[in-house]
Amino acid sequence: MKVENKVTPSEEQIKGFFEPGPAGPIYMLNLLKFREKAEYADGHESELSGAEAYALYAAGVSKILIKLGGGGMFSAQVERLMLGEVEELWDMVAIAMYPSRQAMIDMMQSTEYQAIHHHRDAGLAGQLNIETTDAGGLWLGDTGFSAT
């Protein structure tokens, strides 16, 4: 399995996102890797860490998500790798719920989002975004793990 952090999606990924998807909410799993120091594209100097710059972005996105009927579901700092092997761990994980794929598109195209997006780019060294949907209530025993 190849794992490669990116800050922007490929053309193929963008195209796939605009294709019809599942009805109902999507849950975007974000694996985040921060820059040590924020790097803004316009070159202005900043004393912010990558995590601090991303936090500015996340606070703005949270407000937009609530207006769209979604919201942040979970976020946590990554402590260690329990199983498997990767060259480098992510710094944080977060799950955001969007009422639909279209709601996420609407958010990304909004002027509010465009006004804060630069903090995301400045703060991130890379990330993985994994689109997930509800497993329909199918669970494996009482472990909490879904079979689908």
pLDDT tens digits, 53-93? 999 999 999 999 999 999 989 999 999 989 888 888 999 99
pLDDT tens digits, 20-32:
778 889 999 999 9
Of residues 90, 89, 107, the one with CA closest to residue 98: 107
Query: Rounded to whole angstroms, how far apart are CA atoms 110 and 113?
Result: 5
CATH of 22-135, one of 3.40.50.10860, 3.40.47.40, 3.50.50.60, 3.30.70.100: 3.30.70.100
Question: SS3 of 108, please?
Answer: helix
Give the pLDDT confidence score for residue 10 in this predicted structure. 82
pLDDT attached to residue 20: 75
This prediction's pTM? 0.83
Going from the C-alpha of 137 to that of each of 28, 96, 140, 141, the distances in angstroms are 18, 19, 10, 12
pLDDT per residue as tens digits for the range 83-110: 888 888 999 999 999 999 899 989 999 9
Residue spans of the domains in the chain: they are: 22-135
pLDDT in tens, 111-128: 999 999 999 999 999 999
The Cα 121–Cα 84 span in angstroms is 29
How many Cβ atoms sit within 10 Å of the Cβ of residue 47?
Answer: 7
Residue that the structure tokens 């996102």 belong to: 17
Does residue 121 contact residue 46 with C-beta atoms inside 8 Å? Answer: no
Q: How confident is the prediction for the chain on average, in pLDDT?
A: 88
Q: Do 34 and 123 touch, CB atoms closer than 8 A? A: yes
Q: Residue 25 has which token pair? A: 């909410």
| 147 has pLDDT over 80 | no
Q: Are strands 124-132 and 26-34 parallel, antiparallel or unpaired?
A: antiparallel
